Amino acid sequence: MSHDNLVQRKMPLSLSVSGTALCAALYAIGSYLTAYIPSPWGVGQFRPAVVVPAFFAVVFGPVPAGVGAALGTLIADSAKYGYLYPGSYLASVWGNLIGFFLFGVITRRFSWGRFVIASNITLTVANFIVAALYVLVFKILYLGDAKYLAFSNQAVIIFILGLTIWWFVTMLPFVLLVTPLLIVIAARTMPSFVSENLRKQSLRQELPLNLFSIALIAPGVIMLVLGLLTAYSSMGLEIARYFGATTAALVQWMFLISGIALSILGFGLKIRRFLRR
C-alpha cells in the first residue's frame, strides 16, 4: 500500500487502532490536567487539550480523531469523578466524536484554509452538542435537577449558548496557534505518517497569517459585543436572575477578557505578517 493511499484514510487497521488509542490516551491525560478549572457558569472545564484530537484529525483522519476524542473525554471525566460519569457518556462523548470526526473530514484534503475552517466549525458544532446534551439530557431528563427544571426557556438557551461560547473562546487560540506547530513538527520528523500534500502545505507554504488573524479577531469582536450586552442589556439581568449576580459578573468579564485576548492575538499575527513583508 502506497503512502498516499494510507493518507486517503485507507490505512491498515493496526495503524488506525494504535492512532485511536494514542489519541485517547493523550487527550485523557491533557484533559484531566485542567479538569478542575471550571467555567464562569460553575460547570464545564477549561480544555486546551483539544489540540490533541485536532492534530490526530489532520494526520490520522476522522475515525482515530473522533473515536480517540470520545474515549479520551470519557476517561478524563470518569477519572475526575471516580466512576463512569453519566454526564460524559450522555453529552461529552457525542460532541467530541462528531466534532473531531468532522474535523478530519474537512481536512482530508489538507490546506491551511481548510484547517482554519475546520477549527471554527468543529469547535462550534462539538461544543454546542455537548452543551445541549449536558443541559437537556443529563441535567434535566437524566437527573431531573430541580434547579434546571425551574429555568425558563430563555434561561436554558442562554446557558447552552453560554457554555458553547466559553468552550469555543478558550479552545480556539490553542487549536489555531498550537496545532499548526505540531503538524509542522510531524511533517518534519515523521514524514512516513503524513501525506505528500500535507508535507507540501505544512513545510513549503507559509502559514496564511492574515487568515489566522481574522479567525481570531472576528470572534474577539463578537465576544466584546456580548460583554457589553451582558453589562447594558436585559441579557445580564436574565443571567443574574437564574444564575446569581456573581455568575453574571463572571460571564460579563469572560466575554470582555476573552474578546480582548482574541483580538490582541489576531492583531499580533497581522503585525507579524506586516513585519515579515
Give 36-73 as a DSSP string.
T-B-TTSSSB--GGGHHHHHHHHHT-HHHHHHHHHHHH
Please compute the mean of the pLDDT values over residues 12-35 and round it to a whole number: 92
- My answer on whether 172 and 224 are in the same domain is no
Last residue of a domain, one of 152, 172, 205: 205
Residue 79: Cβ-neighbour burial (10 angstroms; 0-12, 13-18, 19+) = middle
Indicate which CATH number applies to the domain containing 187. Answer: 1.10.1760.20
HSE, side-chain direction, 13 A CA sphere, residue 70: 19
Last residue of a domain, one of 161, 188, 205: 205
Please compute the mean of the pLDDT values over residues 195-222 and round it to a whole number: 80
Q: In angstroms, rounded to a whole number, what is the distance separating the alpha carbons of residues 182 and 51?
A: 9
Q: In angstroms, rounded to a whole number, what is the distance separating the alpha carbons of residues 138 and 95?
A: 14
Q: Considering the chain, what is the average pLDDT of its residues?
A: 88
Q: For residues 26 and 52, is the Cβ–Cβ distance under 8 A?
A: yes
pLDDT in tens, 123-164: 999 999 999 999 999 999 999 998 889 888 988 998 999 999
Q: Tally Cβ neighbours within 10 Å of residue 221.
A: 13
Whether pLDDT at 244 is above 60: yes
- My answer on whether 65 and 196 are in the same domain is yes
Q: For residues 97 and 70, is the Cβ–Cβ distance under 8 A?
A: yes
Q: What pLDDT shows up at residue 157?
A: 92
- My answer on whether 211 and 188 are in the same domain is no
Whether pLDDT at 5 is above 80: no
Q: What pLDDT shows up at residue 6?
A: 43
- My answer on whether 114 and 172 are in the same domain is yes
> Which residues are within 8 A (CB) of 70 and not within 5 positions of it... i.e. 6 or more apart?
93, 94, 96, 97
- My answer on whether 53 and 112 are in the same domain is yes
- My answer on whether 137 and 163 are in the same domain is yes
Predicted TM-score (pTM) of this structure: 0.87
- Using CA of residue 100, residue 64, residue 32, residue 149, what is the dihedral sign? positive
Whether pLDDT at 233 is above 90: no
Query: Number of structural domains, the chain?
Result: 2
- My answer on whether 109 and 157 are in the same domain is yes
Distances (CA, A) of 147 to 139, 143, 243, 248, 275: 9, 11, 10, 17, 53
pLDDT in tens, 77-116: 999 999 999 999 999 999 999 999 999 999 998 989 899 9
pLDDT in tens, 168-186: 999 999 999 999 999 989 8
Whether pLDDT at 117 is above 70: yes
Q: Which residues pair with 45 in a beta bridge?
A: 38
Q: What pLDDT shows up at residue 82?
A: 95
Last residue of a domain, one of 205, 237, 255: 205
| Residues composing the chain | 277
198 or 69: whose pLDDT is higher?
69
For 246-249, the CB contacts below 8 A with 24+ separation are 247/40, 247/41, 247/42
189 or 174: whose pLDDT is higher?
174
- My answer on whether 185 and 231 are in the same domain is no
Percent pLDDT > 90 in the chain is 56
- My answer on whether 176 and 210 are in the same domain is no
Question: Which residue segment(s) compose the domain that 211 sits in?
Answer: 206-277
- My answer on whether 59 and 81 are in the same domain is yes
Q: In angstroms, rounded to a whole number, what is the distance separating the alpha carbons of residues 99 and 69?
A: 9
Q: What pLDDT shows up at residue 276?
A: 67
Q: For residues 268 and 207, is the Cβ–Cβ distance under 8 A?
A: no
Whether pLDDT at 3 is above 60: no
Please compute the mean of the pLDDT values over residues 18-24 and round it to a whole number: 95
